Structure 1
Amino acid sequence: MPGTDGGAAVQRSTLRQQIADALRDEILSGRLEPGQEFTVKEIAEQYGVSATPVREALVDLSGQGLLDSAQHRGFRVHEYSLADYRGMIEARSLVTDGIFRGLVANADVHHATPAALAGVRRRGEEAARAASAGDLNVLIGYDLRFWRELSALFGNPYLSDFFHRLRVQSWMYAVSHLRRVDDLRGHLWSGHCLLVDALADRDARAAQDIVTAYNADSLALVERLAAR
């Protein structure tokens, strides 16, 4: 029956996304480390599901640059280099500059209303609290949601998806170094609300200056940790 087939497809798609999200969280938490290999069977057994949605989820994560297909051995967590991270930071800066200019110049067109920015700011407050506490796991979750919601105001889903992927990949590289720090308080960026306030004041230059300083500090910290 068509209804039955459609329901099964939706259920499988949902399971596929749930597995992909769970594995992404495992990578960002550092529980799955760069270079670590695993098979579809191992993941299927871990989550108690069939191989099909697992394989689909792993292929999705490979397309996002988080995994590599290891021929005849399954999959491997991708290993980014410091040079890759520098490139990500540069790309992030170019994207945010365009987004900020667009939001400020055409706030009504891009739905950057005070109410919308207030919603993003609340997410930023949660991220800032986690950063100040040095809670990396909580910070990553709220930080990704903050930037996802902020970039979505621009109204271009292709740009928003690309930027989100950059954020995930850069966290993926940075987290392997940040985990070596016993106490991260004072090391993590907590300027989310300052950024939203600058955009609310329609000051794209100030917003980009905040992000430029943030990127420079993040890169300097990761470079120091990578050199150890």
Structure 2
Amino acid sequence: MPRTGSGNGAVTRSTLRQQIADALRDEVLGGRLKPGQEFTVKEIAEQYGVSATPVREALVDLSAQGLLDADQHRGFRVHEYSLNDYRGMIEARSLVTDSIFRGLLDGEATTTRGARAALATRIDDPRTGAALAGVRRRGEEAQRAAAAGDLNILIGYDLRFWRELSGLFGNPYLADFLHRLRVQSWVCAVQHLRRVDDLRGRLWSEHTALVDALTERDAPTAHTIVTAYDAHSLALIEQLVAD
């Protein structure tokens, strides 16, 4: 973790704050910080060799995102999500993705003509095609990781895939909300997935099919893919919890 400093190349406090937040989020997603685990600002500052201020700010940010719980007297602890929490996340995810992808693509009455025209223009723009090609490559990497059962690699590519894809098709506020939901749902899921010795063949891997459907403006297929994904994710976690 870089230290703060002065002069050219110095890491600003806001940059350090984000780096610490990203690192701790990865610790939670990686299962190294477990649900209910407690720690203090001082412990994290010493771990990364930085001052307390950016650490405290990063922990507050993660608390606002729902990943940590703040205790005024004991520090922070990793939030413990329940199965009902996960069900709520999946439902919210479904509503947001419908709004981002399906509503704009299929010409429903709730979608304005201007929004549909703007999206059509965006899809036909060569820059959008190039961006979609990049998203598809991320999807290919996610699919390979899913097939191999490599959870760490899958999570990284999956989060980037969905963030870039939703950013291309939806408004930035919905895209940011979807990213937050996806981080939370992964945090909730990994505590159960990491108990499985072999995840090969059990993780969703239809990323490129979704990109292809959206590229072709095939809203029904895109909707079917996302709906099947949400159902698959929920069924898998419900099974693991029951086991």
What's the TM-score bracket when you normalise by the shorter of the two chains?
over 0.9
Residues 132 and 188, structure 1, Cα contact 8 Å, conserved in 2: yes
- Out of 207, 220, 224, the position equivalent to 2:222 is 207
Paired residues in the alignment total 225
What residue identity is the alignment partner of 1:222?
Answer: I
SS in 1 for 2:120: coil
Residues 128 and 168, structure 2, Cα contact 8 Å, conserved in 1: no
Distance 2:170 2:201 in 1: 34
**Given the two structures, how large is their TM-score scaled by the length of structure 1?**
0.93
Matches within 5 A, 1:125-140: 125-140=140-155
Residues 68 and 79, structure 2, Cα contact 8 Å, conserved in 1: yes
What residue identity is the alignment partner of 2:182?
Answer: R
- How far residue 35 of structure 1 moved from its aligned partner, in angstroms, is 0.6
Distance 2:39 2:59 in 1: 10
Identify the residue that residue 121 of structure 2 maps to in structure 1.
Answer: 108
Output one character per residue of 1:29-79: Cα deviation in whole Å (capped at 9) or x when no partner. 111011110000000000011100000000000010000102210001011
SS in 1 for 2:223: helix
- Out of 118, 123, 138, the position equivalent to 1:123 is 138
Residues 37 and 77, structure 1, Cα contact 8 Å, conserved in 2: yes
2:160 matches 1:145:
yes
Distance 2:79 2:121 in 1: 40
Identify the residue that residue 26 of structure 2 maps to in structure 1.
Answer: 25
Identify the residue that residue 83 of structure 1 maps to in structure 2.
Answer: 84
What residue identity is the alignment partner of 1:108?
Answer: T
Identify the residue that residue 180 of structure 1 maps to in structure 2.
Answer: 195
**Given the two structures, how large is their TM-score scaled by the length of structure 2?**
0.87
Output one character per residue of 1:73-114: Cα deviation in whole Å (capped at 9) or x when no partner. 000101111111001101111111111135534232476832
Residues 102 and 154, structure 1, Cα contact 8 Å, conserved in 2: no
Distance 2:10 2:103 in 1: 38
Distance 1:162 1:6 in 2: 36
Identify the residue that residue 109 of structure 2 maps to in structure 1.
Answer: none
The answer for unaligned runs of 5 or more in structure 1 is: none
What residue identity is the alignment partner of 1:184?
Answer: L
Aligned Cα root-mean-square deviation (Å) = 2.1
Moved more, 151-160 or 29-38: 151-160
Residues 100 and 170, structure 2, Cα contact 8 Å, conserved in 1: no
Distance 1:61 1:7 in 2: 29
The answer for unaligned runs of 5 or more in structure 2 is: 106-115
Moved more, 37-46 or 90-99: 90-99
Residues 107 and 113, structure 1, Cα contact 8 Å, conserved in 2: no
2:164 matches 1:165:
no
Identify the residue that residue 34 of structure 1 maps to in structure 2.
Answer: 35
